[in-house]
């Protein structure tokens, strides 16, 4: 695996203006975060991080329980033991429990957080930093996790019963997913490395009763030598720690006001908000495990889509007795995460970073330290023969991301045919004739100028049609080159989306035995660059 080029984020359309301004240090955004997304910023966050001994002990107990069915060894076991130490901190990323790890950035995201923890451990020997993957097991949006694009084909996990789409995805039985592995192996003609990777997924889905446990086993095996710890927030022991936060959310509803204020301030600066808060940012688990939104009402609180309701005192009592029945939404999930982890940094995708910049006021309300927020690394790959074909053309690699396919093809045709499609002179000629005719019309009958304008427009319409025909003819002459350019662009931007957001990791690296260790080395989230790889 070799880096062809490192492309700075500022020259790509991969991030919004808000995220770019944040990572490049625009001063007007200083009030929306605490620590810069830099090595010094992270070390400062570790120096200032407050975390209670009781929460640390509870976290370790919960993780030990969560790992009871896995034979946790090596660096992961050592990191779990080190979490007892007050000088041990976490670097966290999270994601949905996508079938077969979904798009490739699932792997890049985890690799980035492992790389970052390694950098910090090498920089500061007085502390220890543990990479953590937070499983979004409470999310109930089945559609978002159910599809994977593999070998040019869309694989879809079909709803098996009414629970799908209602209960947290982490509780679903993943057995049906194990059946895909054998067919997927055939695409690689039983190549040894691809078969070994797919076997990890097959075992995970076959041997576990829930998608959360299956995902833990799969991610643990894929990153087994890195010290990565995997946490499930849907845990009664951890939810009990959250009681003070849940209670304040019900009583004050101040997270709603804090996010609204941040949103208004960002919009005044010309940015678009990523999330919209609710008056109360909580879900509730029913007896059948379905997850439904809690809403405010004139008499207290109601459960959306049902007849269930509470007064404020009743809801507070329910929280005190059964905190595991409550689930934070996108506003409070980061608060929950930072409340139960000795975390100094969260690493997310562009959309995640954007909404974290709306949350500092929420953290201040709950008196929780706001972590450093970083953008995960981005990766794109091309095969050797594609890289060789691309070298024949004048397009920079960033052009394939910044230009549409039509723009690339048109530009190539124009350059290849030395201006043959430049109709500037013809346009000037038509305008000159129209000008002369208008002069004559004014001398004879001014009403004739209207007819001249009509004929001028007709000439231009005909010129446009001729231009299209010329373009088509030249495209046919350059058919081989145009197919090459189309292939390069479609590899980097399939379906007009970044490759990492569409294509599965196994599809890209099935023939690469050392792909994950190499990607961990390459995915440095502090360099703000897309790595273009030849594999």
Length of the chain: 535
pLDDT in tens, 283-330: 999 999 999 999 999 889 999 988 899 999 999 999 999 999 999 999
> How far is it, in rounded angstroms, from Cα 511 to Cα 384?
13
Q: Are strands 88-95 and 343-348 parallel, antiparallel or unpaired?
A: parallel
Collect all residues with Cβ–Cβ distance below 8 Å to 335 and sequence separation of at least 6: 245, 255, 328, 359, 362, 363, 366, 368
Q: What are phi and psi of 271, to 5 degrees?
A: -105, 160
The number of angstroms, rounded, from the C-alpha of 9 to the middle of its chain's C-alpha atoms is: 15
> Looking at residue 166, what is its pLDDT?
94
Question: Lowest-confidence range among 41-55, 224-238, 442-456?
Answer: 442-456
Q: Running DSSP on this structure, what letter comes out for residue 503?
A: B
- Is 330:259 a contact under the CB 8 Å cutoff? no
CA angle 55, 56, 58 (to 5 degrees): 65
Collect all residues with Cβ–Cβ distance below 8 Å to 288 and sequence separation of at least 6: 163, 166, 167
DSSP lists the bridge partners of residue 327 as 283
pLDDT in tens, 403-417: 999 999 988 888 877
Collect all residues with Cβ–Cβ distance below 8 Å to 8 and sequence separation of at least 6: 528, 529
Nearest by Cα to 376 from 56, 92, 89, 67: 92
Computed on alpha carbons and rounded to an integer, the radius of gyration of the chain in Å comes to 28
pLDDT in tens, 213-256: 999 999 999 999 999 999 999 999 999 999 999 999 999 988 99
Nearest by Cα to 375 from 5, 10, 28, 1: 10
pLDDT in tens, 250-286: 999 889 999 999 999 999 999 999 999 999 999 999 9
Q: Running DSSP on this structure, what letter comes out for residue 170?
A: G
- Is 143:157 a contact under the CB 8 Å cutoff? no
Collect all residues with Cβ–Cβ distance below 8 Å to 303 and sequence separation of at least 6: 284, 286, 292, 293, 294, 295, 309
> Looking at residue 433, what is its pLDDT?
78
For residue 93, the tally of other CB atoms under 10 A from its CB is: 27
Q: Tell me the residue ranges of DSSP E strands in 119-244.
A: 128-135, 147-150, 153-156, 229-232
Structure tokens at 463: 């010129």
> How far is it, in rounded angstroms, from Cα 332 to Cα 315?
17
> Looking at residue 302, what is its pLDDT?
96
Collect all residues with Cβ–Cβ distance below 8 Å to 221 and sequence separation of at least 6: 200, 204
Structure tokens at 331: 């506003």
Nearest by Cα to 350 from 498, 507, 516, 129: 498
Could you tell me what percent of the chain has a pLDDT over 90? 80
Instruction: Tell me whether residue 295 is exposed, middle or buried, using C-beta atoms within 10 angstroms of its C-beta: 0 to 12, 13 to 18, 19 or more.
Output: middle
Which helix H or strand E contains 454, and what residues bound it?
helix 448-477
Nearest by Cα to 86 from 123, 60, 66, 118: 60
> How far is it, in rounded angstroms, from Cα 316 to Cα 322?
10
The yes-or-no verdict on residue 100 having pLDDT over 60 is yes
End-to-end CA distance of the chain: 5
> Looking at residue 202, what is its pLDDT?
97
Write down the domain spans for the chain.
2-236+332-376+504-534, 243-328, 385-498
The yes-or-no verdict on residue 475 having pLDDT over 70 is no
> How far is it, in rounded angstroms, from Cα 211 to Cα 214?
5
> Looking at residue 431, what is its pLDDT?
78
Q: What is the reported pTM? A: 0.88
């Amino acid at each position: 695996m070799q880096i062809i080029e490192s492309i700075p984020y500022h020259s790509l359309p991969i991030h919004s203006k808000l995220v770019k301004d944040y990572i490049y240090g625009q001063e007007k955004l200083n009030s929306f975060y605490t620590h810069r997304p830099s090595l010094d910023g992270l070390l400062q966050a570790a120096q200032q991080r407050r975390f209670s001994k009781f929460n640390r002990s509870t976290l370790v107990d919960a993780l030990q329980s969560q790992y009871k069915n896995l034979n946790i060894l090596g660096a992961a076991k050592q990191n779990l033991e080190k979490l007892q130490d007050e000088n041990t901190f976490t670097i966290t990323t999270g994601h949905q429990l996508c079938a077969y790890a979904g798009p490739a950035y699932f792997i890049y995201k985890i690799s980035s957080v492992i790389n970052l923890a390694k950098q910090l451990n090498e920089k500061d020997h007085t502390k220890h930093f543990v990479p953590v993957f937070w499983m979004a097991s409470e999310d109930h949006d089945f559609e978002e996790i159910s599809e994977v694009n593999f070998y040019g084909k869309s694989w879809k996990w079909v709803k098996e019963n009414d629970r799908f789409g209602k209960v947290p995805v982490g509780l679903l039985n993943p057995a049906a997913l194990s059946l895909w592995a054998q067919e997927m192996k055939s695409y690689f003609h039983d190549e040894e490395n691809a078969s070994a990777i797919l076997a990890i997924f097959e075992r995970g889905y076959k041997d576990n009763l829930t998608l959360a446990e299956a995902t833990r086993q799969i991610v643990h095996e894929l990153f087994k030598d890195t010290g990565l710890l995997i946490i499930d927030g849907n845990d009664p022991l951890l939810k009990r720690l959250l009681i003070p936060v849940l209670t304040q959310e019900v009583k004050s509803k101040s997270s709603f006001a804090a996010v609204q204020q941040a949103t208004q301030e960002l919009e005044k600066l010309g940015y678009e908000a990523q999330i919209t808060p609710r008056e109360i940012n909580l879900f509730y688990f029913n007896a059948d495990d379905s997850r439904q939104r809690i809403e405010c009402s004139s008499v207290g609180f109601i459960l959306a889509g049902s007849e269930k309701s509470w007064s404020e005192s009743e809801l507070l009592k329910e929280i005190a007795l059964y905190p595991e029945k409550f689930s934070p939404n996108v506003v409070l999930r980061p608060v929950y995460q930072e409340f139960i982890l000795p975390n100094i940094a969260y690493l997310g995708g562009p959309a995640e970073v954007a909404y974290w910049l709306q949350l500092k006021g929420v953290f201040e309300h709950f008196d929780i330290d706001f972590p450093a927020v970083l953008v995960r690394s981005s990766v794109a790959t091309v095969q050797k023969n594609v890289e060789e074909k691309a070298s024949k053309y004048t397009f920079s690699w960033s052009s394939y991301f910044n230009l549409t396919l039509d723009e690339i093809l048109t530009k190539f045709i124009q350059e290849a045919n030395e201006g043959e499609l430049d109709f500037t002179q013809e346009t000037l000629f038509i305008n000159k004739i129209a000008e002369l005719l208008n002069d004559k019309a004014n001398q004879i009958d001014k009403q004739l100028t209207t007819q001249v304008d009509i004929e001028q427009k007709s000439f231009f319409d005909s010129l446009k049609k001729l231009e299209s025909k010329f373009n088509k003819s030249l495209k046919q002459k350059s058919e081989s080159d145009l197919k090459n350019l189309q292939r390069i662009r479609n590899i980097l931007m399939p379906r007009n989306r970044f490759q990492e957001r569409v294509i599965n990791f196994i599809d890209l690296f099935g023939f690469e035995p050392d792909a994950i260790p190499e990607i961990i080395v390459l995915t440095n989230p502090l360099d703000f660059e897309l790595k273009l790889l030849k594999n």
